[in-house]
Amino acid sequence: MNLFLSRGVWFLVLCATPFAFSIVVAETREELERAVVEHNSTIETLNKEIEKYEQELNGIASQKQTLQSTVNSLEIQRKQLQAKINATKSKIKTLELEIKQLDQDIHSKGIRIENGKETLGAIARNIDQTEKKSFVEAILGESSVSSMWAEIEITQQFERAMRENIEELVYSKTTLTEQRARSEKKRADLLLERKTLVEQEQSLSITVREQKNLLSQTKEKESAFQELLEEKRVAKIAFENALEDLESKLMYTYDPSTLPKTGGGILQWPLDAVKVTQYFGNTKFARSGAYSGRGHNGIDLRAALGTPVKAALGGVVEGTGNSDSIRGCYSYGKWILLRHPNGLSTLYAHLSQVGVETGSSVPGGAVIGYSGFTGYATGPHLHFGVYASDGVKIVRLGDVTKKLTPCSNAIVPVSSFGAYLNPIDYLE
């Protein structure tokens, strides 16, 4: 670019600066903005739908457990889950559109910066050439020395303005790049959330299949369904009696000094949304005759079917099991026992799906399974227990107790009485 020190040429210089640059793209900013608005509107509609399903589920939860209420709950949860998946898809698409917008802005500013640098280079070379002119050349080429220096001053002022504008463009580009990185992180989080939701849907499908088997067994008769519930209750009492007899004789010992001091923050909650429905120990339900007169050996947390269950602390999977695989045994259902490096072990029971294998290491907060109502459970929830690791073992119940029960072939964690710990003492 040739620059001359004449006022008429400054118009050409200004038109060549990066201020007037625009980039032509396949999708215009207006098109992208309209698409973002449409997706956000879809998300808002789906969120209202999800909230409606949540209210319906809460209403069903307060009803007596019947065959019809169970079927209704499963159907509503299926619809709610699908709405969540669709909302997450829309959120991902919205972020992808926003990332496209940012890419366009970053690209545009990058070109404007490069054009501005080229213009600055031409101005600097022109100033350098002018200042090198001899005094005689300046007299011959300009009306006066003062006018020549005036032109140089104007050029230098323009150069400073250009530099300031380029600095602003560089700062703006950096800000946009950082914003893009944050959007990419959100997108990655949403993709992970979508994966979790799809896994929840798979978990729900498993439970739906099991529910269809139940419908087949009861032939859709409410009386048969209630009889099955009573059968579960009786089998559970038999299991608890055998377990109580065993635990009273167990001599599993542990050193209390190896346990962490009680206090919040040792463990994190295994669910994102926490609602304790039954606490540890001598609860009202326990006093009513449940647990064969013993206290509740963990806490129960409300959790809709298929809710992700997370490791309360990093550790190793000590074992998993499914007491429902033993006909007539209704106890923990699907369960996971984690051993942690601080002397504690945690139990997660009544799951609809187990997502880890024995011997694997899991970090704290990792999804290890999904809530359900396997085993003896009057509705979907999570039973969460904490043990002193040295005081709990995983055994085949029939190998260690003489009482013959439907659960004799079940593989379950057992503990001496003293090894049961109150989870609330260690949770955040």
Is the CB of residue 139 less than 8 Å from the CB of residue 145?
A: yes
Q: Which residue has the higher pLDDT, 47 or 358?
A: 358
- Has residue 216 been placed in a domain? no
What per-residue confidence (pLDDT) applies to 241? 66
The two three-digit tokens of residue 334, written as one number: 């699907």
* Residue range 149-178, pLDDT digits in tens: 666 677 777 777 778 888 888 888 888 888
Instruction: Give the count of domains, the chain.
Output: 2
- Average pLDDT, rounded, for the chain: 76
215-219 mean pLDDT: 57
Contact 32, 93 (CB under 8 A): no
pLDDT tens figures, 346-385: 999 999 889 899 999 999 999 999 888 888 776 788 999 9
Same domain, 133 and 59: yes
Q: What percent of the chain has pLDDT over 70?
A: 66
| Parent domain of 118 | 7-211
- CATH number of the CATH domain containing 415: 2.70.70.10
Q: Would you say the C-alpha torsion 360, 301, 306, 320 has a positive or negative sign?
A: positive
The rounded distance, in Å, linking the Cα atoms of 308 and 292 is 31
The residue-averaged pLDDT of 98-127 equals 82
121 is written with which tokens? 């280079």
The two structure tokens encoding residue 381: 């929830």
How does DSSP classify residue 261? P
Q: Give the count of alpha carbons within 13 A of 62, CB side only.
A: 5
Q: Are residues 198 and 262 in the same domain?
A: no
> Among 211, 242, 273, which residue terminates a domain?
211
Q: State how far the Cα of 265 lies from the Cα of 314, in Å rounded to an integer.
A: 13
Q: Give the residue-averaged pLDDT of 237-248.
A: 65
pLDDT of residue 367: 92
Q: Are residues 325 and 418 in the same domain?
A: yes
Same domain, 179 and 241: no
- Whether residues 227 and 78 share a domain: the answer is no
Q: Which residues are bridge partners to 384 per DSSP?
A: 299, 348
Locate 107 and state its tokens. 């690209």
